[in-house]
Every structure is written in structure tokens, then in C-alpha cells.
Amino acid sequence: MRRDFVLISAVFCFSFSLSQTDKSENLLIVDSLWTKEVFKFPIHFAPKIDYNGFEEAYFPNDWSNQDSLEYWSYAFAWSINGNTVINETTLERDLKLYFDGLMNVVNKDKTIEIPETFAVFLPTSKNNFRGKIRLYNAFHTKEIMILNVLVSTFSCTEQDRTIVLFRFSPSSFEDKIWSTLKRIKYNTSACASDISDN
């Protein structure tokens, strides 16, 4: 697990060493034992995701343990500057760019061509979506995997920004891990505070 976090941090810090966020306002309410990473847009491995803001990501202890229900089960939130439209089309586009870029950076075997990511989403209500992502797992199995995804969006009107909460797991939505993931909530006080760039 430690090795995977080192790898994740190395991937992100390559781009964000000069713009790393030192202090997060805590966009999400998450178990305190989960590991937290915060970094800014634009993302070097997915520069076509054309947002300004930052990502706050949380990983459980057994994120990389293939025998655990926590395997690849995690959450992150995007804080996007501006009143940004989030719908099925933007989610499918952005997450394809995100995971295609991430897996190509993580992949060490440059003799192979990483299969493209495919994402599909449907709205479940005005600000909520359910979807699936088919991606190549360059971190562990070097095989195709399917992630189930729940997405919720929130608007910080006074601050003119949009918060997007993503929850991921390869486990079925009926599995126990989703009870844990659904307890990860948007921190409503986040709209009343600003992130520090200092």
C-alpha cells in the first residue's frame, strides 16, 4: 500500500511541485484514517481537462489490496472555479481524459499501447449521476477493470465555483463497501471558506 501511495504522489508531484496546495479546506467529510492528497488543476497528464481549481482525493488503507473490499474503492472531489455545467457528456469526457492520462503515466512498459478508457453515465436526479468506467489498471493487474461510480454536484454560488464529488469502486453497488463510500459527504461549510495558496 505504501508503495502505491508513493507512486501516486510521484505521478502528481511531478506536475504540482510548484503549485501544490499546502492547506485544504476539507471539501469532504471522510474517515480520518483515510490518506488524503490535494493538488491543483491543470493536471499534467490530462491537460485537456480545462478547469481551474483543485482536487481533494481520499484513499482507504487497503486501496491496493486486491483481496480487500476496499480495493480501488476511493473518493475525490473537484473544486472548479466558475459556475460549471456538469452532465453526462462532461463526465464521460473528463474521466476518459483523466484515466487515459493517468494510466499512460503510470505504465512502465512503453512497448504496449494502453487500451482507451470508456465511461458512461446516466442522471439519477438533477445533481446526481451513476456510471461505469472501463479502464486499464496500470497500477496493479495490468488488465482491464470496471469501476462503478456515483457522482454528486454542488454549487457554491457566492464563491462562483462548482464542487463535484466522485465515489469509485469495482464492487457492485449492492456490496458493503458502498455503505462506507456513501458515508463520504460533501462538507457544506466548504462553501463558506477559501483554500489557501500560501
**Predicted pLDDT at 8:** 54
Q: Is residue 126 included in any domain, yes or no?
A: yes
Rounded to the nearest integer, the mean pLDDT of the chain is: 87
The verdict on residue 107 lying in a domain is yes
The phi-psi region of residue 177 (left if phi > 0; otherwise alpha if psi is between -120 and 50; otherwise beta) is alpha
Phi, psi (degrees; rounded to nearest 5) at 64: -100, 5
Tell me, what's the pLDDT at 196? 35
Q: What is the mean pLDDT of residues 140-164?
A: 95
**Tens digit of each residue's pLDDT (9 = 90 or more) over 79-112:** 999 999 999 999 999 999 999 999 999 998 889 8
* 197 domain residue, yes or no: no
Does residue 183 fall inside a structural domain? Answer: yes
What is the per-residue pLDDT for 44?
86
Quick one: which of 186, 185, 166 has its CA closest to 73? Answer: 166
Query: Mean pLDDT across the stretch 183-190?
Result: 92
The answer, as to whether pTM is greater than 0.85, is yes
pLDDT band for 193, please (50, 70, 90 cuts). low
List of residues 6+ apart from 137 with CB closer than 8 A: 72, 103, 143, 144, 145
Task: State the Cα–Cα distance between residues 120 and 100, nearest whole angstrom.
Answer: 15
Closest CA to 71 of 180, 158, 185, 183: 180
Q: Which of 83, 97, 60 is nearest to 158 (CA)?
A: 83
How many domains does one find in the chain?
Answer: 1
What is residue 16's predicted lDDT score, i.e. its pLDDT? 37
In a domain? residue 86: yes
Digit-coded pLDDT (tens) for 33-51: 999 998 899 988 899 999 9
Pick the residue with more confidence: 33 or 23?
Answer: 33
- pLDDT of the residue at 151: 99
Domain enclosing residue 83, as ranges: 2-192
Q: Is 198 among the domain residues?
A: no
